[in-house]
Amino acid sequence: MSASEPALLSLTEVAHAIAQRQVSSREVTQSCLDRIQQWQPRLNAFMAIEADDALSAADAADAALAKGNSRGVLHGVPLAHKDMYYDAGKVVTCGSKIRRDWVATSTATALQRLKDAGTIRLGSLQMVEFAYGPTGHNPHYGAVHNPWGYDHVTGGSSSGSGSAVAARLTFAALGSDTGGSIRMPAHFCGVTGLKNTVGRVSRAGAMPLSQSLDTVGPLARTAEDCALLLGLMAGADPEDPTCIGGSLPDYTAATREPIKGLTVGIPSAFYVDDLDPDVARVLEATTAVLKGEGARVVQVELPDQRQLTAACQIVLAVEAAAFHKRWMIERPGDYGPQVLMRLQNALAIPAVSYLETLRWRGPALAAHLAATSGVDAVLAPVAPVAAPTIAESDVGNSPDAEAVIQRLTRFTRPVNYLGLPALSIPCGFTRSGLPVGMQLIGRSFDEALLLQIGAAFQRVTDFHAKCPEPK
């Protein structure tokens, strides 16, 4: 254990260390706060820092533990989450001006389940306005910076989650993934991110963007940590009728399983086209590691992914605009220009086209499952490039920004349209030192298998353990 700086431990390690009273919750919380103080001016990852409340909660957790009272497996572990998870009595900005002072009156189910397991609130994390953007820019609260290169984007919309987990300011963070918003920050910031199957984790109390596509999931340092969090959050919720019930696998146990005999598919097209040479190199190296662990790697031919991307864009645009219509009428000037532009895109989409994209979703998923019936999971890059600079992806200030952004989301949106789970894991670095992640795409509700493969990969590599240093 890192006794001198417990913030450097993984979530699983620190939870165990607190439970065994090898370290106190106060020491852990103070360690996180020290790093937040050091990094926040560089990263702008936090929306709110609640140091005094966090330390008081840590003291209470230590006192309870001294009496033999543990609240759960995350007793006394300090965490911060994307500022779109309602927490009763707390301001939840959703990264917006419109909700700058909005106080939640209920608590998101996913967040409550983590609280019930004993977590402590460190504050809240920055995000793209209303979670509607893939880069990490925010006109109201400033861009979040990538700890591996301050001039580079974190990816969005869970920008603060990616940045803060990478810099070891929080052990894990909730993000949300509607078009890639967990996997892109995980890829750009060098952390592990789990986009769950639509219906796996309750969305009650999470700010909505698209009711067909929204998913709640964690960004953490390891697949093992993601498994721990998913096990706590998953399952039926009367507050969210779209959330699927039934028995759940032991996700943590899955991470201990070997992958010998599993088959991983590499797409023959689309996900391997037009890759930056660094990303192509990392894909090849990742494939070699999986083979080395006993997995069989084969080529897989997927249906036309461009159609899935297009369908995702149509569903997302219409559903987001429907949520926002009242504010688009009453407060258009309170949106940042990028988000207002994206919301306005829905005005061009006839209802018939929107409903066609929803009707096609079943056959499209069936076609994907048929195409991947010979493999356990698909391995693909999260994006064709590593993190672009904040300047080159700033819509309105860079003439190429739209093209840069379109390229970023190419590989994530098909997964959202199909509602599939995908795990983004750090798999290497570019020659200039920026992280590169790969996504493992699985079958519906088979997150356990992705976590199994991710954990096996992380047992024999150390990309997830690399920690950026302040410059």
Partner 1 sequence: VTRPSPKEIKAMANVAGLPVDDEVATRIANSIGPAFDGFAHVAGTLPFDLEPATFNRVQTTQVAK
Catalytic residues: 82, 157, 181
Could you say whether residue 263 binds partner 1 (CB under 8 A)? yes
Site for partner 1 in 110-139 (CB under 8 A): none
Residue ranges of alpha helices (H) inside 211-276 are 223-233, 251-254
Residue 396 to residues 286, 317, 338, 402, 403, Cα–Cα distance (Å): 37, 20, 8, 9, 12
Contact 182, 424 (CB under 8 A): yes
Question: Least distance from C-beta 26 to partner 1, angstroms?
Answer: 45
- What 8-state DSSP symbol labels residue 264? E
- What is each CA distance from 180 to 52, 68, 415, 448, 470, in whole angstroms? 34, 42, 8, 20, 27
103 phi and psi angles, rounded to 5 deg = -105, 125
Q: What is the distance between the alpha carbons of residues 270 and 383, in angstroms, rounded to a whole number? A: 11
Of 369, 460, 465, 467, which one interacts with partner 1 (CB under 8 A)?
A: 369
Distance from C-alpha of 281 to C-alpha of 266, rounded to nearest angstrom: 14
Interface with partner 1, residue 398, by CB under 8 A: no
**Residue from 41, 68, 329, 333 in contact with partner 1 (CB under 8 A):** 329
Stretch 171-200 residues interacting with partner 1 (CB under 8 A)? 197-199
Count Cβ atoms within 10 A of the Cβ of residue 384 and give its class: 0-12 exposed, 13-18 middle, 19 or more buried. Answer: middle
Contact between 323 and partner 1 (CB under 8 A)?
no
Structure tokens at 465: 């353990």
Tokens 């410059």 correspond to 471
**Choices 40-48, 71-79, 186-194, 305-313; region in contact with partner 1 by CB under 8 A:** 305-313
**Does residue 359 belong to the site contacting partner 1 (CB under 8 A)?**
yes
Nearest distance from C-beta of residue 286 to partner 1, angstroms = 21
Which tokens belong to 310?
């297009």
From CA 76, how far away is CA 445, in angstroms rounded? 30
Among 241, 294, 363, 433, the residue binding partner 1 under the rule CB under 8 A is 363
Quick check: 280 binds partner 1 (CB under 8 A)? no
Residue 287 beta carbon to partner 1: minimum distance, rounded to whole angstroms: 19
Q: Does the footprint of partner 1 cover residue 307 (CB under 8 A)?
A: yes
Select from 167, 317, 320, 441 the one that contacts partner 1 (CB under 8 A): 317
Question: Which residues, 339 to 358, sit near partner 1 by CB under 8 A?
Answer: 341, 344-345, 347-350, 353, 355-358
> How far is the C-alpha of 401 from the C-alpha of 398, rounded, in Å?
5
Instruction: Return the residue of 273, 274, 330, 402 that touches partner 1, per CB under 8 A.
Output: 402
Rule CB under 8 A: which residues touch partner 1? 197-199, 244, 263, 304, 306-307, 309-311, 313-314, 317, 325, 328-329, 341, 344-345, 347-350, 353, 355-363, 365-366, 369, 373-376, 402, 406, 419, 443-445
